[in-house]
Structure 1
Amino acid sequence: MSFFEIQKNGEVGWIYLNRPAKRNFMNWDFWVELPEVVQQLENDSAVKCLVIAGHGASFSMGLDLADFGERLNFLLEENAANRSRLWDLILTMQKGFNVLENCRKPSIAAVHRHCIGGGLDLIAAADIRYCSADAQFSLREVKVGIVADMGSLQRLPHIIGEGHTRELALTGRDIDAETAFRMGLVTKVCSNKEELYLETQKLAEEIAGHDEEVLRGIKLSLDESRNRNRAEALQSVAMYNAGFLQNSSFLSLISGLAKRKK
């Protein structure tokens, strides 16, 4: 693995975003490896609960636009084949978050400092979220000219409600840890990163102490009632962006990044 590091602490499997020099900006390795690391721990009988955390100064700053600028150069030529190619790319990227959400084992996100864009998509797919007092969250896609298509628009209404989701999505503004707690995005705010990790491990151990089949049944029941139209909604936003992004301000951003690479 080049993007992730896995550590086991008792019956708890920690998945660390491990690109600290780049504040865990999500390059292509992230999207390829995320479903693999989740499935690896899901298949590990010694692991009863998963934790998602980030090495370095930030949990994640979101999508690495510089990396994707080169990967999305094909958008500069508008045709049906490229729209189909983009749709496939979006669905591939959605897969990792879907695998985390659908994992049979409970998952906890432990967030410190920045949790931006794709970082928020990631933690929305977890079952429970804790954060440190310095955490900042943002659904920032509107500011770069795209519709959030990795699951936040589908998952957040069930976590923080429709009104809060619309406000975050339509403004792209940052919110702090206390606001995230009041909204219900996180269920605990810890004073610092060290306390965050201790409290998250404690919670994970408490969960792991229960019968595995009962935990699986609880997740299945909760997810089933929530996810009836999730797949259709994710397909829909992927299809929308596949057509829309070739005629948007995001295209200008991609063009600029491509020129900067040369």
Structure 2
Amino acid sequence: MTDWRAFSVDISDHVAEVTLLGPAKGNAMGRDFWRELPEVFAGLNADDSVRAVVLAGSGKHFSFGLDLAEMGSEFAPLLADRALAGPRSRFHTLIESMQASVTAVAESRVPVVAAIQGWCIGGGVDLIAAADIRYASADAQFSVREAKVGIVADIGSLQRLPAIIGEGNLRELAYTGKDIDAQRALRIGLVNDVLDDAEAALAAARATAAEIAANPPRVVEGVKNVLDHPRRGPVADGLRYVAAWNSAFLPSHDLTEGITAVFEKRPPVYKGE
């Protein structure tokens, strides 16, 4: 395909393996990630030899989520006092482009099997929610953490997770921003199985992808298409709504406080302003 900065892509025996490479610590999602992800999946969709995809993270962690250090500059014009239509409109476009990046995974022509190890936070959960099947290592931890930094999650977790873990579990995670371990993730259905370590989780993902790839490819694509069909409309509508909501209401002193507290490594103090 091509050389990527945020990913490696290897194709063998009808299975594509897409691995997050960072380059930020913990495979945090910066500009390269958001730009390259839809291009990677467009290339895989165009390759008829690909019948399944394994999605994995390199190193000790799947992903720390949004790279605030790199992407924080995108928030700056919006956080200025009295941000007007121009900055809000540009931020709305940014949200839509980031949503489209993860939607490219959800709309993959072939099933996507994720292998998760270590931390999977924020945008990392958005990403695995777009996969079809998820395996975790025993040390995996998950967090829909956006609320803790003053953000309404807007890249797909709130739209895709209800069908995966149910409304009650999602509301608990999204309202609190709490961390959960792999066993809790298994109990609520966020992951299909928990394996001993990262290598075992990746091996399980590869084995399932190989099983999928051994079946008639058009039939598998048909099954995925039929299963996805009832959810496409509600998910798309929910993404449009949250993009508009955040463009209107995200600018706040609490958001500034949340981001500042992350960099200063201290608890935030929110005032509802």
Structure 2 unpaired stretches of 5+: 264-273
**In 1: Cα distance, 2:142 partner to 2:79 partner:** 31
Secondary structure of 1:23's partner? helix
Instruction: Report what 1:84 is aligned to.
Output: 89
2:199 corresponding residue in structure 1: 194
Match of 1:240 among 234, 245, 248: 245
Counterparts of 1:223-234 in structure 2, within 5 Å, are: 223-234=228-239
Q: For residues 162-217 of structure 1, give each alpha carbon's deviation from its aligned partner in whole angstroms, at most 9, with x where no partner exists.
A: 00000000010011111000100101111011111111111100001111111111
Cα distance, 1:70 vs structure 2: 1.9
- What's 1:27 paired with? 30
Name which structure has the greater RCO, CA cutoff 8 Å, separation 6+: 1
Query: TM (normalized to structure 1)?
Result: 0.94
Instruction: Please state if 1:48 is matched with 2:40.
Output: no
For residues 96-175 of structure 1, the aligned pairs below 5 Å read 96-175=101-180
Q: CA deviation at 1:19?
A: 1.7
Q: Partner of 1:57 in structure 2?
A: 60
Q: 1:36 aligns with which of 26, 39, 54?
A: 39
2:146 is paired with a residue whose SS is: helix
Give CA deviations for 1:120-167 in whole Å, capped at 9, x if unaligned.
000000011011010000000000000000000000000000000000
Q: Distance in 1 between matches of 2:234 and 2:207?
A: 34
- Between the aligned partners of 2:84 and 2:24, the Cα distance in structure 1 is 37
114-123 vs 66-75, which deviates more? 66-75
Deviation at 1:226, TM superposition (A): 1.9
Match of 1:203 among 192, 203, 208: 208
User: Following the alignment from structure 1 to structure 2, what is the Cα–Cα distance between the partners of residues 28 and 253?
Assistant: 21
**Are 1:74 and 2:72 counterparts?**
no
Size of the aligned set, in residue pairs, is 259
Q: Distance in 2 between matches of 1:191 and 1:228?
A: 37
Q: Report % sequence identity.
A: 48
CA contact (8 A) 1:62 1:117 kept: yes
Q: 1: distance between equivalents of 2:24 and 2:37?
A: 19
Question: Is 1:14 aligned to residue 22 of structure 2?
Answer: no
- CA gap 1:254/1:144 in 2 versus in 1, 3 angstroms: closer
Gaps of 5+ in 1: none
Pair 21,94 (structure 1): closer, same or farther in 2 beyond 3 Å: closer
Aligned 8 A contact 1:70 1:257 in 2: no
Paired residue secondary structure (1:34): helix
Relative to the length of structure 2, the TM-score reads 0.91
The letter for the 1-side match of 2:47 is: D
Distance 2:142 2:237 in 1: 26
Query: Partners of 1:80 and 1:101 in 2: how far apart?
Result: 31
Q: Which runs of 4+ in 1 moved over 4 A?
A: 253-258
Check 1:193–1:39 CA distance in 2 against 1; reply closer, same or farther (3 A cut): same
> 1:129 aligns to what SS in structure 2?
strand
**Equivalent residue letter for 2:178:** R
Kept after mapping to 1: 8 A contact 2:148/2:258: no
Question: Whole-Å Cα distance in 2 between the matches of residues 20 and 131 of structure 1?
Answer: 22
